[in-house]
Amino acid sequence: MFNKTLCPTCTGGDFYFFGGVIRPVVVTELPTAQPYYIERVEPLTTDATKGLITVRVAFGGAPPASASLSLAFNGGVPGPATNAPVVGGVATLAGVAVPNAQPWRLGQGNLFTLTIVEAASGDAFTTRSGLRVLGVAPGPPARLTINGETVKLKGFNRHHSWPDTGAAVTPEQEAVDLALIKELNVNYIRGGYVYARTPPLPP
């Protein structure tokens, strides 16, 4: 029967959650003196042409009042530390210049890596991103733009799953899907992931 009592992984819609552990499990051991860690890093493009980004660093655990942050791009050596206040668990660095900046374009997925190092805890986090600003060109009809260029999205929805392994897709299975995607010459994929949150967020 399709109900949450007999099927706790039921969504109430058209898809079942997969049971079990289907993603890597990461255990972060924190020193007693430093009860926080870098949870995620968000590089937000403010000017793709000039290569300017705003970096948001979110802390988990008991965040500090301020953080001393160093940045390294593309595997380079971290630069001098910048002290930033932590508000609501997030430190923000504005006006950060990406070296050798190349805007992201369709067919030219120019990406950079950014490593953030927090001095007091010694924690570090590396993420990958591209310089891209989404916009809307006035209509009618209104058109989606990426870095000022009009883009027509051609693609489909793809659930991250496989008949034999469910959501635990292997690298070999990913390669098969990516080969099909490339053969179809699409430029957009809507990733169909399944999320569960308990209890629900307040309104």
- Start-end of CATH 2.60.40.10 domains in the chain: 36-132
pLDDT the model gives residue 5? 62
Instruction: Express each pLDDT in 84-143 by its tens digit.
Output: 999 999 999 999 999 998 999 888 889 999 999 999 888 899 999 999 999 999 888 999
Residue 46 in this model has a pLDDT that exceeds 50: yes
pLDDT the model gives residue 165? 82
Residue 32 CB contacts under 8 Å (≥ 6 apart), including other chains: none
- Partners of 70 in the β-ladder: 117
99 alpha carbon, distance to own chain's centre: 21
Taking the whole predicted model, whether its pTM rises above 0.85 is answered as no
CATH class of the domain comprising 36-132? mainly beta
Q: With the C-alpha atoms ordered 98, 101, 107, 113, is the resulting torsion angle positive or negative?
A: negative
